[in-house]
Amino acid sequence: MALLEVRNLSVHFGGLAAVHDLSFVIEQGERLAIIGPNGAGKTTTFNLLTGQLKPSSGEVVFKGEQITHASVFARTHLGMARSFQITSLFPHQTVYVNALIGLQGTQRSRYRMFRPLFKDKALEMAAQELLESTELWDLRGEIASSLAYGQQRKLEMALSLASKPDLLLLDEPSCGLTTTESADITARIAALGSMITVLMIAHDMDLVFGVAERVILMHYGEIAAEGTCDEIRSNQMVRDIYMGSRKTLGHAR
């Protein structure tokens, strides 16, 4: 059974079809990238998958469950998680509190009204583990908004992984990073292990070809091409639509 199955998904804004009759599947452990020029419907697709946006027709099935109309937070509880393109942290809280808030989102304790957050030993252990794995433990006392941009991206990643997702949706994970930082993120995503399935939308071809096993090219809200990295690299239509434009990137040439 596929982990995520998208069937004939469409969404219209006014008369305009932003995404039209989109169907694809992701198998457990796969790394899939969705690419396409600006306005191709990548972000809309992403929002449909996270639940931010509700489709006009079609369905989304996750682990065999209908989640087409499920709320954003319900999807998280089923095992989906996402990152944000614009860094999306809790800017006024410390790195440590960011981690604690991130971790308890899928735990029953999140509704406890009378027990201090800082006396939850299990949560503190989990926070330490999470922050150590993202090399942020030494910065735990810093206010999130005071971190350098690359560190904020790391915290962003930590928050996305906090709910221990089965499927991770990444929105332009290397957006705005330097080449080194971008390479670092690429390595991190590659190192996630087969327990976490990854779907990303991306512009950065180095990242896509460094991480993805399969690539979907979107154009005008529909799937224009689909295949392995090699197939996509050599696909003439891909060259015409995407790399033929001024956005020639990475080894694509």
Judged by CB, which is closer to another protein: 70, or 217?
Answer: 70
In whole angstroms, the minimum distance from the beta carbon of 82 to another protein comes to 5
Instruction: Determine the length of the chain.
Output: 253
- Residue 175: other Cβ atoms inside 10 A: 18
In whole angstroms, the minimum distance from the beta carbon of 38 to another protein comes to 18
Distance separating alpha carbons of residues 36 and 249, to the nearest angstrom = 12
What is the side-by-side strand order in the sheet with 31-35? 80-82, 167-171, 197-201, 31-35, 214-219, 222-228
Judged by CB, which is closer to another protein: 82, or 203?
Answer: 82
Q: Find where tokens 């099935």 sit.
A: 61
In whole angstroms, the minimum distance from the beta carbon of 158 to another protein comes to 11
Judged by CB, which is closer to another protein: 172, or 221?
Answer: 172
In whole angstroms, the minimum distance from the beta carbon of 51 to another protein comes to 8
Judged by CB, which is closer to another protein: 84, or 220?
Answer: 84
Q: Supply 57's token pair.
A: 């027709």
Judged by CB, which is closer to another protein: 144, or 211?
Answer: 144
Q: Are 123 and 117 in contact (CB under 8 A)?
A: yes
Distance separating alpha carbons of residues 219 and 211, to the nearest angstrom = 22
Q: Find where tokens 């304790």 sit.
A: 109
In whole angstroms, the minimum distance from the beta carbon of 120 to another protein comes to 7
**Sites of contact with another protein (CB under 8 A):** 50, 52, 71-73, 76-77, 81-82, 84, 88-97, 100-102, 104-106, 109-118, 120, 140-141, 143, 159, 162-163
